[in-house]
Amino acid sequence: MVLLLEKVMYYIHKSPFGSRVIVRNDNQEKDPLFWNTWAQRTLKNALTLQKLNQNTAKNLILFLGDGMGIPTVTAARILKGQLSRQSGEETQLEMDNFPFVALSKTYNTNAQVADSAGTATAFLCGVKANEGTVGVSAAAVRSQCNTTQGNEVTSILRWAKEAGKSVGIVTTTRVNHATPSAAYAHCVDRDWYSDGEMPAEAVQAGCKDIARQLFENIPNIDVIMGGGRKYMFPQNQSDVEYPGEKKHFGTRIDRRNLVEEWNNRMKNKNAHYVWNKKELLSLNPNSVDYILGLFEPGDLPYDLERNNETDPSLTEMVEVAIKILKKNPRGFYLLVEGGRIDHGHHDGKAKQALHEAVEMDRAIGHAGLMTNINDTMTVVTADHSHMFNFGGYTPRGNTIFGLAPMLSDVDQKPFTAILYGNGPGFKVMNGLRENISTLDYEENNYKAQSAVPLSMETHGGEDVAVFAKGPMAHLLHGVHEQNYIPHVMAYAACIGQNRDHCMSSSGASSLSAALPSLTALLTFTRFLC
């Protein structure tokens, strides 16, 4: 007898404290058979994992949820279910279905609690680095231009390109923001978006801004999609979408038009520059080999605020990216960043952050439908966590943005389940904690209360999850240093440092043949010891 979760019925109930609670309207969870059947089904699936996927990965996809700590994953899971009118806790995210899970230690070489630049260098370039720096080793010092040369480190995107694969970057932030920039740039300051944000002495010393490096360091990146348009155009040039808004004008002091330069360089290569959703979706990916999509002057809008007519979703960008990249018979490497999860948390806007996480999960599922687990390794992880959590003994089905089912026994006021350890949500009224019962705490931009007042909430320092599926995914297990991730992905695809083990006597790629030999060698070494 198999009991399906889809058969569960729900109804919405209003708690005495004002929160909506989605209540399960059946008795199946009271029957031990329900839980035993579910566990046995899970066990049966787990037993199939004893046969490891040791194929060579033709394709590599890394989904990076910026700031997507484990509490964010759990809350996003509940939200996903509640958006489908379920109670949420039993829902499965796409990443929940990945067979292998590990933990990643996120610290930077000079920081216990990391930033996104040093962590991006770790999970893209394979070496830990100082906070605020991208694509350089820990020998480089933030903002000191003269420490760049000689300390550059290369990324898995470059390794893939050099192996003949197509490569792509898709992000909801600026394409020259911390995470994507570590894939192609070598810069001692993550904030050097264009030369307009650089100190004059750094420019004079020969350091390059990140936008310029996007087009110069790795020739012909096949897919580039995200925001950051203003950093590509001359200072004070008006924006095509917001011509009257000075904050969106170009920032380049060198007067270069990097988009025009790209168009000129790529004019005979089936290349297209697009700046809105209509242009993007009007393209036939079969006739496109290169795409540069810059959809906003800065970051893309939150998914809850996105203009469906002009701004593509992360899922839509990922679909176009994979259609273009998968045409290469040698495969591809794709970096996908759900970058605004992080921004929502920094603003104390949990609803924005969690909806960003749900949209990234949707993109993960869509990518799974477009690829094959037998030849595509997919990894989902975060760069760091946040000071975000939820609790308060909430009942099953409590709306994730709702109130805890009790008043504080100290100030006798209600509180939401979601709280931040620090951030902009700290408010005192007449010397007392603000009474949120008068506020719309389920509004999109509500700033959840925090324990310590800060203009921006901070990152968290705990380990983050790594979900993996596809060839060699079992190598991501246990607790690892964050810089281990690209080494595993490169090993699976036989690129970068990890190629020798892939060559059989016939010259064909064969991971399966290499691994037993490696095991035998390790066993023999153990006997010698």
Binding site listing for Mg(2+): 66, 177, 179, 337
Q: Which two tokens stand for residue 519?
A: 């095991």
Alpha-carbon gap, residue 512 to 276, rounded angstroms: 45
Owner of token pair 């990916």:
285
210 with 192: CB under 8 angstroms? yes
Owner of token pair 């949120």:
436
φ and ψ of 525, to 5 deg: -60, -40
Query: Binding site membership for Zn(2+): which residues?
Result: 66, 342, 346, 383-384, 459
Task: Compute CA distances 182 → 177, 384, 459, 484, whole Å.
Answer: 9, 15, 19, 16
Cα end-to-end distance, the chain, whole Å: 53
For the question of residue 505 being annotated catalytic, the response is no
488 with 458: CB under 8 angstroms? no
Alpha-carbon gap, residue 316 to 339, rounded angstroms: 15
Owner of token pair 């290369």:
154
Alpha-carbon gap, residue 335 to 291, rounded angstroms: 15
Beta bridge partners of 382: 65
Q: Catalytic one among 19, 104, 116, 155? A: 116
HSE-up of residue 230 (Cα within 13 Å, Cβ side): 24
Query: Helices H, strands E: what count in the chain?
Result: 14, 21
Nearest to 153 by CA among 491, 414, 483: 483
| Residues tagged active-site | 116
